[in-house]
Each structure stands twice: as C-alpha cells, then as structure tokens.
Amino acid sequence: MKRLLSILLSLCLVAGVLLFTQAETLTGSSTSKIGGEGAIVVEVTLDEAGAIKNIAVVENKDTPGISDPAVETIPAAIVEHQSLLVDAVTGVTYTSEAIVLAVRDALTKKGIDASKFEVEVNKEVEKGEDVEKTVDVVVIGAGGAGMTAAVQAHINGATVLILEKMPKVGGNTILSGGALNAVDDRSEMAIKTNDSAEWHYQQTIAGGDYQGIPSLVHIMTSRAWEAVEWVKALGMEFIEGETFTVAGGLWPRAHKPVTPVGTGFFNTYNAYIDSHEGIELMLNTKAEELIVDDFGRVVGVRATGATGETVTAMANKGVVMAAGGFGASVELRQAFNTTWSTLDASIPTTNHPGATGDGIKMLMKVGADLIQMGNIQLLPLGDPNNGSLSGNVSRRVEMVVYVNKNGERFVNEGGRRDEMTRALFAQPDNYMWIVTDAHAFPTGDVQNNFNESVDQLVADGRAVKGETLEELAEKMQVPYENLKAALENYNAHCATKDKDEFGRTLYGDPIDRAPFYASPRVPTVHHTMGGARINEYAQVLNENQQVIPGLYAAGEITGGIHGANRLGGNALTDLLVFGRIAGESAAMGR
C-alpha cells in the first residue's frame, strides 16, 4: 500500500497536483522579471472547505537574499487574508507579484475560480506601543555602509542598534554586482597587472576631475585591501587569484565575491548579528529626525515603526548616518542636477526604491555641510524595461563591445562612466547593445555578475543569441555588415593591444567564437556622489567646517570622495573603508 501511494504521489507531482483524502495541495508556477521563466514554484494546500490553508515556495530562482522578504511575507499574507490582493513587499515587488501569480496558477490548474480570492484586504493596522531604547551607537540604514559600521562598532565594544526603513537589509549594495576595488601592493596580482594602491588613488582622483578630497581618497585606496581582509575574516569569500575591470573601473583591480551580487556581504553581517549579543536590527523602522541636545551634540534618533509607533533610540556615544543616496527620488535628483539635460522620470534608475534621500533631509536640519550634490552618476548599462543593471551579457569590460542601433561602435568601452553615458545619449534612441561571444559564456549555464545564466537571459527575451554573427545581427535588427566591420576592427586591436580610435586599451579575447550574444541597454541613474562632508574620522562637518559632535556618516550619503565621476568598483570600497571608520569612531565616542 505504501509503495502504491508513493507511485500515485509521484504521478500527481508530474501532473502538477497532489491529492490527499482530507485536503489538497496544488502546484503552480510563474515567471518573474528577475528570475525568468518558472522562477517561482509554489505548493498551495486547501482545506476541506476550499480555503487556502498553507502556501510553500518550493522553488525560487530569484536572487536569494534579495527575494527573501517576499518569500517570507506574501504566502503568509495570502493565507491570513484569504486574498490574492495583498500588497507587494517594498523593494521586492517582482518576487511578490511572481508568488501571487504562482498561487493563481495553482488554483486555475485545479479549475478553481481565482476570483473568489480577489477580496479587498483590510489595511488598517492598530498602532503599536511607542518604543524607547538606549545603546552606545545608533546606525541609520542597513545597507552596506550601515551594516559595516554596525559590526565594526560592536567589535570595538559598543552596543549597537540599526534602524532600517525597508523590510529587508541591503540597500543598493545588495543589488550591485558585488565588485570591489582593492589593491594588495605585495601580491602577485598587483605585480601582474602593474597595479598599486597609489595608482588606484591617482586614477580615482583624476577620474573624478580632481574634485575628490585628496586625504579622503587616499584613505579609501590605501585602506581598501585592509577592509577586504577584515570582511574575509568575518566569513566573506571572494574568488581567489582573479581580478577584473568593472565598467568604468579603468583597471583590472576588482574582486568578485563567491556569493552572487551583493548578498555575500549581508549573509556575513547577518551571521555576525545572529551570533552576538548587544547588536540589534529593527526593520520597517523609518528614521525621521536626529535628536540634538542643548549643547549641539547628536544624541539619538526619532523614528516611526511599522504600525506607526514612535521609536526613540538614544545613543550614548554616537549616531552613524548611512541612509544612502537619492537616486530613486526624481524630485531630489532634478533639484540637485547640474550635469545632465534632465533626470526626470523618463530616466530609470538602478537604485532600490528606498534610495529617496531621507538622510539628506535629516542632515540639512542639523546644519551639515552638503557638498557636490550636483554630481550624479548615470551608467549606459540600464535594462530598457526597468533600469536595472541585471539582464546584461557583460561579465568584464575586456570581453565586450558596445554598438548602437546601426551596429556601429561609438565609445571606449573601458572609459569613464560619464563619458560613456554622454556618448550613448548621442546615439539613436539613446539605445545600445552589449555584444560578446562564447569566450565569455563557454556554456549556456555560465552566469553574468547578477546570478543569471546566459541561457536564462535568452529564454526571457532580455538577450539574443546567434549561432552566427549574421544571425545575431538579424535578431538585434542591426545591419550585418556594420556589426561585422565593428568586430573585425575590435578583434584586430585585440591582437596588437594598441589604443584604438576610441581610446580603448583594455582587451581580452577577440569576439569571434560562436555562439554570439547581445543585450540591449539604455542610460540609467546609478549613484549620487554628493552628500555630507566628513573628515578622516568620518565625523560630519557643518558649514563652518566644524565637527557636529556625535554624528558620523559613511557610504553614498557622503560627498567629496568620488568627485565628478565615480570609478566602477569604488562604491563598495568606499562603504567598507569608511563604514569601518565611522563604526570605530562612533564606538570610541570620538
């Protein structure tokens, strides 16, 4: 009998439906804009009355770490309200929608009218009790800079409270490709690539048109490898023996984490928090204002919790502001923009939805000196549908070329990000293709820097594939002769390694091995380089260049480090180096 039941269950699984005597479990799947076809598979259990009893996500191709809040929240919300009209989780909208669609698919396959579960959800939430907490250090923001600062402050003996307005940690860091610039002057890799911390400094300062504050840029580049060793000691893993050039990075000094995108940092930090007392994280808690005492010292933060309760967090030693930039705020980027013709809603962004400049507004209220606010970085690498950096076939600069809708190269692919973006704005429809081949993707399951296989990108329509260059040109809808000429010219320079007519000097293998791949890209807002002026201890300065006691800052909310243009791969370097400095300074009460 047990064997018979086992066979029956297996057959039912193949059919997509599990049958039980008392209840039923239905299987459904859906496509996600992140994970692609069949990204989410769920099992929906109905009770005897036909109500949804349980929902289990049994397969999730969306990026782990990023999609977790939706996986944890959406199934429970559907069960609680018996409704498919639950709100998406902020910051993981695509996964939220995919889970709902998968549940709907399961119901539909069984012949159940899903409209019976389309009931309005009562969104009134009873206000919780106000909360008061006192610790040594309060950190605003649980992105890369904030989590780095929090862990470092705790290592230095402080009790720490982290406030994060989103339902998950990560900020923009968790959406990044995870690349981190750092040079160990003593390593064979530095010798092999003719690199050094000093050369990193020189390229960074020049790449930002010398607007970066030299002392801060020097700290970032000289302490970068120390920061890598620090996070590795905490358990973070990087691919050893290999560095590469990030788009706009100018040199092959980027280190790639083993865990995809930016999730490795947060797996590491969350593991530290979970295994130590005296460090706490509060999600869905939006910092509203800095509390300043009668002597002008920042002594705490007033925030609003998930149900509207007031959270008052007092800091015995200091507050670290690490709330990120404002790339997702059309209002602020338009207000501060001095570089681009427009940064209105027609220009998408790579940023997570919480990057709205809340911290900037809080800093303004306490008189912080905000510098270089007009320095806003765009990339030529946005997904045409959502502005994301994901979905592209670029793994490293040395393995790609960019062509416009006419199939013609138009820019140095190894150049500065601002120069590449300006060149793209001059192309038809502000549109380009990244082109590569089997040297970059020797098999279809090889992934890009965002945990996506090239086969998956092609299947989802985010990239095209050609067994011949002519077939690729046809799918790109560009003139074959133009594309052929562009690659022949590029390939010739791969052999000689000399500078081409666009100024390119970074070359890898020629693009001549089938199959060929291409993905479309458009300009997208990526990083806001302006923010609070800080000193070498990450203390925030006021407009008179005096320290605001008790206030520190790190990450994208600071200004004066990257100047007019940020080198690719320097953002994570910045947040690691100055996140550590801010955490240590706050813990010491400096």
As annotated, the active-site residues are 417
Separation CA 493–CA 512 (nearest Å): 13
CB atoms within 10 A of CB 311: 22
Q: Which amino acid does the sequence have at 277?
A: E
Euclidean distance between CA atoms 562 and 284, whole angstroms = 30
Distances (CA, A) of 394 to 131, 181, 436: 47, 18, 7
- Dig out the tokens for 426 from the structure: 């001059």
- Indicate if the alpha-carbon torsion angle 95, 99, 104, 106 is positive or negative: positive
> ∠ CA 476-477-480 to the nearest 5 degrees?
90
Q: Which residues, other chains included, contact 191 with Cβ-Cβ below 8 Å and sequence gap of 6+?
A: none
CA of residue 406 relative to chain centroid, distance:
31
Alpha carbons 450 and 175: distance in angstroms, whole number: 8
Residue 309: exposure state from Cβ atoms within 10 A (0-12, 13-18, ≥19): middle
Residue 458's closest CA among 404, 518, 407, 394? 518
DSSP of 560-589: SSSTTSPPTTHHHHHHHHHHHHHHHHHHHT
DSSP notation for 88-125: PPTT-HHHHHHHHHHHHHHHHHTT--GGGG--------
In this structure, are strands 401-403 and 539-541 parallel, antiparallel, or unpaired?
unpaired
